[in-house]
Amino acid sequence: EPFVADEYIERLVWRTPGGGSRGGPEAFDPKRLLEEFINHIQELQIMDERIQRKVEKLEQQCQKEAKEFARKVQELQKSNQIKEAADIIQKLHLIAQELPFDRFSEVKSKIASKYHDLECQLIQEFTSAQRRGEISRMREVAAVLLHFKGYSHCVDVYIKQCQEGAYMRNDIFEDAAILCQRVNKQVGDIFSNPETVLAKLIQNVFEIKLQGFVKDQLEECRKSDAEQYLKNLYDLYTRTTNLSSKLMEFNLGTDKQTFLSKLIKSIFISYLENYIEVETGYLKSRSAMILQRYYDSKNHQKRSIGTGGIQDLKERIRQRTNLPLGPSIDTHGETFLSQEVVVNLLQETKQAFERCHRLSDPSDLPRNAFRIFTILVEFLCIEHIDYALETGLAGIPSSDSRNANLYFLDVVQQANTIFHLFDKQFNDHLMPLISSSPKLSECLQKKKEIIEQMEMKLDTGIDRTLNCMIGQMKHILAAEQKKTDFKPEDENNVLIQYTNACVKVCAYVRKQVEKIKNSMDGKNVDTVLMELGVRFHRLIYEHLQQYSYSCMGGMLAICDVAEYRKCAKDFKIPMVLHLFDTLHALCNLLVVAPDNLKQVCSGEQLANLDKNILHSFVQLRADYRSARLARHFS
C-alpha cells in the first residue's frame, strides 16, 4: 500500500512514550520525541540508499540482459539471413552455370564474386565460433558450408585450430593420442561426415608433425652413429605403431588398417628400405670389436687358421692318426673362450633379431633374420669357438710328453656351456622369425653343420687328451714300478699292501675322472669315461704282462688290481668295472696252487675267456716251467 507521511508520523508519536496525549499534558516530552524523529529519519535515509543500490543493480542487469537478448536476436536474424543468402547464392550459382558466357559474363562474374565473399564470410564465422568454443554455431555454419566448394577449407581450418597448443608435453606421441581422442568426441557434434574429418586430422598429424619429428631424430645420427640410429629407428617405429593401434578404436571409414599402414609407411619408407644393410653392417663391426677387445685384454694375437688344401689334408690325417701335425702351442692354461664375450655377442644379436622382427617387411623377414644368424655363426661359432678349439687342439701335447698339463677339457666344458646358450637363442629368437618359411630348413642345416664340425673337433681333442692321460700313466708306471715289486728277494718280508706305482696311478686317474665329470654333461660323461676306462684297463693289462710273478709278487699284483678296481668304481660305468673284475680274476691265476689251476680257469668269471689269454697269464708265474703248468693248456 502507498506510503502516507502523516499517518507514519501519527503512528511514531503514538508509539513513543511522552510523545502523545496519553498521561495528560504532564507526560508530554518534546525532547524525547525530537530524538525519536531524528533516529527514524536516519534509518529511512540508510534504507533509501540500500534500496537505491538494489535498483541500480537491477537496472544494470536488465540492460545487460536486454543487450544479450538483442545480440541473440541479431545473431538469429543474421543466421537466418546467412542461411537465406547462402540458399539464394547457391541457386544463382547453379543457374549461372547454365548461362552462356559471352552474353552473361558480367552477371556470372558478380554471382561468382558474391559466392566467394559469402564463402569467406562463412569460414570466418566458423573460425570465430571455434575460438569461442561454440559447438552449436560451428555445426550451423558447417552445415551451410557443406554445399559450398570451400567446405574442405572449413575442415582445414578446424584441423589447424584444434592442434594449437596440443603439443605441450615432451612426448609427441602421447600428445597426438590425446588430441585425437578429444577431437573424436567433438567432431560428430560439428560435421555431418565426422569419420572423414578425423581421418584427415590423423593424416595431417602423421604427415606433418610426426614425419618432421622422426626426420629430426634420425637424420642427425644416420651417418655418424649406427648404434644410436638403429635404437632410435626401432623406438620411433614402435611408438608410431603403438599410436596407430590406439587410433584403430576410432571410426575412420571403411579400411582404417590400410589407411594407417600407409601413413606409417610414408614416414619410414626411406629408412626401412636399407634397414637390413645398416643392421648387418653394424652387427659385424660391433661383433668384431667385442672379440678384438677380448683378445687384446689377453694380450693375444690371433693366429690365422687356414682352410682348404693343406689344412684339410692335415685335419683328415690328424683325425685318423691322432698325430699333432705341427708344433704344440703352450696356451698357459688359457681356453680363449669367454662367457662374457658370448653373452655380449648374443645380446647384440638378440637386439638385432628384435629390430629385424619389427622393422622388416613380412616378406623379407625370414631372409633378413637368416642374414643376422649367419653373422652370429661367423663371429661366435667360427671366430670365437672354432678358433678356441683349434688353439686348444694345437695346445694338446703329444701322448709321450711328461707332466703334460691337459687344458683341453676346460675348453670342452666352456664350449658345452656356450653351445647351450647358442641353442637357446636359436630356439627363442630366430625360430619364431623363420618357422613358416623355407629359410627354416636352411638355418637348421647350417646349425647342424656347425655343431657337427665342432663336435668332431671336440671328439678329436678329447681322444688326444685321453691318449695323453694314458701316456702320463705309462710314465708313472715306468718310473715307479720295479721288477722286484712282483718278485721280491725276500718272500717273507713284504710289508706293503700295494705298490707305489699303483698308488700314484690311482691318484692320477681319480683326478682325471673328476675333471671329466666337471667338463661334460649327460651321456657325454659316460661315453668319455667308458673310453678312458677301456684304455686304462688295456694299459694295466699290458703292464702286468711285462713282469714275472713269485707267489708273494702275485699276491701284491692282486692287491694292485683290487685298488685299480676300486678306482674303476668311480667311473660308474658297469662295463669298465666288469673289465677290472675279470682282470682281478685273471690275477688269481698267478697265485693259485698248480693242482687247482684247471678248476679256477673253468670258474664263472674266466670260463668265457679265450684259453690263450688264460695261458698268457699263467706263463707269467715264476714256477711256470718248474711246475710244468703248460700241460694244463695243451
Domain edges within the chain: 5-123, 166-275, 302-309+332-471, 485-632
Confidence at residue 308, expressed as pLDDT on a 0 to 100 scale: 46
Contacts of 62 (CB under 8 A, 6+ apart): none
Block mean pLDDT (10 aa), the chain, length 634: 72 70 66 79 86 84 68 57 63 60 61 70 87 88 81 88 86 93 91 90 94 93 93 96 93 86 94 96 97 94 64 52 53 85 97 97 95 97 94 88 81 92 96 93 95 93 94 95 87 77 96 92 91 97 94 93 96 95 94 90 88 92 91 82
* Eight-state DSSP code of residue 18: T
* Eight-state DSSP code of residue 588: G
Confidence at residue 60, expressed as pLDDT on a 0 to 100 scale: 84
**Which residue is listed with cell 623355407?**
438
Phi, psi of 549 (to 5 degrees): -120, 125
**Which residue is listed with cell 525530537?**
34
Confidence at residue 70, expressed as pLDDT on a 0 to 100 scale: 56
Other C-beta atoms lying within 10 Å of the C-beta of residue 3: 6
Smallest CA-to-CA distance from 508 within 487, 479, 485, 484 is with 479
Architecture of domain 485-632: Up-down Bundle (1.20)
Cα distance between residue 231 and residue 225, in whole Å: 10
Confidence at residue 309, expressed as pLDDT on a 0 to 100 scale: 47
Question: 397 to each of 135, 330, 384, 393, 471, how far by Cα in Å?
Answer: 91, 9, 22, 9, 10
DSSP-H helix ranges across 273-425: 275-297, 310-321, 339-359, 365-376, 387-395, 408-425
Sign of CA dihedral 521, 527, 532, 534: positive
Confidence at residue 66, expressed as pLDDT on a 0 to 100 scale: 64
